[in-house]
Amino acid sequence: MLLASYQSINLIYSQVCGQGFYLFIFDYWIIVQVSGLLLKFIKSLSVEMRKRFSMKNYLNFIILLAVFSLIFMIWIVSNYNQKDKDILLNTPNGKAVIRFDSHGVPHVSSETSDLAVFFGLGYVHAKDRFWQMEFQRHVVKGTLSEIFGEATIPQDKFLRTWGFYRSASNDWNTLDEKTKAIINSYTAGINEFLKNDNLPIELILLRYKPQEWTNIDSIAWGKIVAWQLQNSWQDKIENYCLRETYGQSIASLIKPPYPQDAPTTLSTQNLISSGLLNKSFKQVGNTTTLVKTVIPNISNIHKQLSHTANIYNISGKGSNNWVISGKFTKSGRPILANDIHLELSAPTLWYLTELDGPKLHVRGASIPGLPSIITGRNAHIAWGITSTGVDTQDIYIVSNIEPIKSIKEAIYVKNSDMVQHEIKISPVGPIINDIIEESSSNLPDKIAVKWTALQPGDTTIQSFLEINYAKNWKEFKEALKSYIAPSLNFVYADNQNNIGYYLPGLIPIRNGWNGKFPIPLDKKHQWEGFIPFEDLPHVYNPQEGIIVSANNKCVPDSYPYELTYRWVESPYRILRLLDLLKNQNHDLVLESMIHIQTDTKNSLWKEMKPIMLQTLPLDSISQKALGILKNWDGDLAVNSIGATIFSFWFQEIKKMQPTPTIELLNLTSTLFIVNQLIHNGEFCKINNANNCKQYLSLTLQTAMQKLIERLGKNEKNWQWGKVHSSTFKALGIGEIKWLSWIWNRSISTPGDSYTVNVGTYNDHFDQIGGATYRQLIDLSDFENSYYIQALGQSGNPLSKHYDDLMNMWQKGQYIKMKNITNQ
């Protein structure tokens, strides 16, 4: 009766707030948990004490608990579920107004000052995403243990050693006054929201009161994003281990170079038209040979690196962008497309934003904690970004190098004693042996990391702000001169029918060596400065009228500088994109781009189909699978059965390894697998297989056994969406079972790692990475431009805007960008 009455009260309230289900479940959980504890306490009492503690007292306590629980939930919703109400802010630079659309996208405006707009941006970032911002801040500072206790001490040591926050603290004085003023105003907006003690429920549950936001907090977060997109330091350690265990020839097979006949973003003709082949400097790459040391277990090293570095993982990182000249569009003006592939999380990294001030008119994707639009458009230009894979990190052997600076930092731990952490810093950067534990004994005595983003004077945040204001190609290029890291492929378009591409950032010049392995710190292996800005890959109004990048190789070998020792990404997405774009007519419209951006056909299947279909089946189930694949068109749609068979089979094929005792599942590349199968390579000769044909037969049989174990024998249940779903895990609490079902979200999704609409998955086929943000921009009509992010605007699971974009995102739908007026 009591519980029924309480449910009725909650139901009435839910009609007002729209969150009855979560309120009821959460309240019910509180009542059950506390009631259970109370019953245990009563049972532990003596008989005499139990008589005194009557059932009436017990029921009174439960009623009181229910009332307080309901009040608590009402307080949460009243603080966090007011998304669609206008907000008027009185800032030091005039009034700012925040209006929300039906999806919770804010339009922040001010008639008096752009600084007031940035104040409003800080305020609304904190209002919708402060737990995300606070979690990010603890990541970059290496203070997670203050919230989570002893479990995160290794992560804090890892982050403190890298020194992201130390580096950011030194960058403030290198920023220009305009950028400082914007960051100051943005920070003030965040702290204005925090003044009212409207803390996210996560911080309440964790019993943690945050400090005020600082300017350095914003600068530092940009370094974590850069680090996740440029982490070649792990690859260099793996390369070293592979070479010393198997020799250079086998190591090169396992991680092969980018195919010679695969597309590059810029062509030789593009380099000629940009004057990049007229340079007298020609960088020479070479491999430095080190003293050989036998390393018995590579897989342990890889697992340790992956586990330790997986703090705020941006796995599945990648992206697509392209820009099309007006000569191919129906409107006669360019179209620009961009989708950014990152780890799926709740909330996502992105926050859709519209900003309007006296001089500022910009829309697109912002990152809570950073005061700018990262990718989007203003009244004159549009831009999009993808990761390049350019190598901006080196690992140096510093065993006998002096001086070594030592720093001791205190790590404060929740409910435990403080931990002292010693950080050793070489002349080139932090020494990392102690933070990659298992593998450190197998590596040289002292290794240190040098990285462009840790060099003094990182002004990347200034660059993004200048891009937000740019009106043409000249101003866009000028803005990129301040850009440091991570190196990205920027595509550009403007309303004067110009298109362009630039790869900015500090990229070291290595003369006579290529950085593929750890190298000694001596005169021969110093960086000889950085590639001059004018020499960085770029093109303006190319003759082809189209520029496309998909994390593929950026430039042909004729480019005079070496950007990286190996282009990691396979070319299957870029091949599919070019195929789709070239098959369009010359009257392209934005709707055509929607179909391309959400395409889920796999170009890898196109290459593998002739080989895989020649497989001899070992049983009737394998024969049935081959029959289904014969008629499969390579589309990894959620209802596809062929997609499931192919994915289970290729998962087994990828277990190809040099010896049965070494697991290289996460080290071998797709290109290595394809090369082995095409050329009947030696690596197929494992698990009782004498050649690649036998290997394919055995792996198909194993794959189908696993498929049936999971989905049953009825092939109607073998749909890709039944095993491949996107799970958005909440930051910091997504792994806590009794909370995860409230915060986490999941939905069946198409695609895989090789499709344009990416659906990167783990060993269980759970999608872990994807297009967390998409935009399509029509330069002829800004009101005919669209964007979407993968989950929702709010970080509060009780808000209707927590996940209201997820179904739209899964279906390939978009939100219209608002028009820009009064420019």
pLDDT digits (tens, 9 = 90+) for 171-185: 999 999 999 999 999
Residues contacting 22, CB < 8 A, separation 6+: 742, 797, 798
The answer to whether residue 73 scores a pLDDT higher than 70 is: no
pLDDT tens digits, 496-507: 999 999 999 999
Give how far the C-alpha of residue 383 lies from the chain's centroid of Cα atoms, to the nearest Å.
19
How far apart are the C-alpha atoms of 582 and 745, rounded to whole Å?
37
What average pLDDT score do residues 154-182 get? 97
Give how far the C-alpha of residue 261 lies from the chain's centroid of Cα atoms, to the nearest Å.
29
Q: Please state, for a pLDDT cut of 70, what percent of the chain lies above it.
A: 83
The answer to whether residue 143 scores a pLDDT higher than 90 is: yes
3-state SS class at 10 = helix
pLDDT tens digits, 215-268: 999 999 999 999 988 889 989 988 888 888 778 888 888 889 999 999 999 999
3-state SS class at 437 = helix
What average pLDDT score do residues 798-818 get? 95
Return the pLDDT at 536: 99
How much is the pTM? 0.89
Gyration radius from the chain CA atoms: 28
What average pLDDT score do residues 177-204 get? 94
How far apart are the C-alpha atoms of 600 and 602, rounded to whole Å?
6
Residue type, position 281, single letter: F
Q: Residue 547: is it exposed, middle or buried by C-beta count within 10 angstroms (0-12/13-18/19+)? A: buried
782 contacts 761 by C-beta, under 8 angstroms: no
Q: Where are the domains of the chain?
A: 2-80, 258-285+314-391+458-597, 603-634+641-718
Q: Please state, for a pLDDT cut of 90, what percent of the chain lies above it.
A: 71
Catalytic residues: 319
The answer to whether residue 14 scores a pLDDT higher than 50 is: no
Residue type, position 538, single letter: H
244 contacts 294 by C-beta, under 8 angstroms: yes
The helix or strand, by DSSP H or E, that contains position 697, with its residue range, turns out to be helix 692-711
What length is written for the chain?
A: 823
How far apart are the C-alpha atoms of 486 and 506, rounded to whole Å?
9
Return the pLDDT at 532: 98
Looking at per-residue pLDDT, the higher value among 620 and 403 belongs to 620
The answer to whether residue 166 scores a pLDDT higher than 50 is: yes
Looking at per-residue pLDDT, the higher value among 794 and 255 belongs to 794
What average pLDDT score do residues 514-534 get? 95
The CA-based angle 318-322-325, given to 5 degrees, is 170
Architecture, CATH, for domain 258-285+314-391+458-597: 4-Layer Sandwich (3.60)
Looking at per-residue pLDDT, the higher value among 13 and 745 belongs to 745
- How many helices and strands, by DSSP H and E, does the chain display? 27, 25
How far apart are the C-alpha atoms of 58 and 392, rounded to whole Å?
65
Return the pLDDT at 656: 84
Cα separation values, 601 from 264, 380, 517, 748, Å: 21, 34, 36, 17
Looking at per-residue pLDDT, the higher value among 648 and 672 belongs to 648
How far apart are the C-alpha atoms of 371 and 378, rounded to whole Å?
15
Residues contacting 576, CB < 8 A, separation 6+: 599, 601, 602, 603, 754, 755, 756
Residue of 425, 422, 433 lying closest to 450 (CA atoms): 425
Task: Please report, in range form, the residues annotated as the binding site.
Answer: 391, 394
The answer to whether residue 823 scores a pLDDT higher than 60 is: no
Give how far the C-alpha of residue 98 lies from the chain's centroid of Cα atoms, to the nearest Å.
28
Return the pLDDT at 685: 87
Can you give the three-state secondary structure of 291-352, one letter per residue? CCCCCCCHHHHHHHHHHHHCCCCCCCCEEEEEEECHHHECCCCCEEEEEEEEECEECCCCEE
Could you give the angle at which helices 473-480 and 460-469 cross, rounded to 10 degrees?
Answer: 170
3-state SS class at 252 = helix
Q: What is the dihedral of CA 97, 100, 101, 103, to 10 degrees?
A: 160
The answer to whether residue 161 scores a pLDDT higher than 90 is: yes
pLDDT tens digits, 264-318: 999 999 999 999 997 655 555 544 333 333 333 444 444 444 444 444 444 446 7
On average, the pLDDT of the chain sits at 87
Return the pLDDT at 67: 58
Return the pLDDT at 58: 57
501 contacts 539 by C-beta, under 8 angstroms: yes
How far apart are the C-alpha atoms of 701 and 617, rounded to whole Å?
8
Return the pLDDT at 384: 99
How far apart are the C-alpha atoms of 551 and 783, rounded to whole Å?
29
Task: Please report, in range form, the residues annotated as the binding site for Ca(2+).
Answer: 391, 394
Residue of 218, 216, 203, 76 lying closest to 147 (CA atoms): 203
Residue of 673, 672, 617 lying closest to 645 (CA atoms): 617
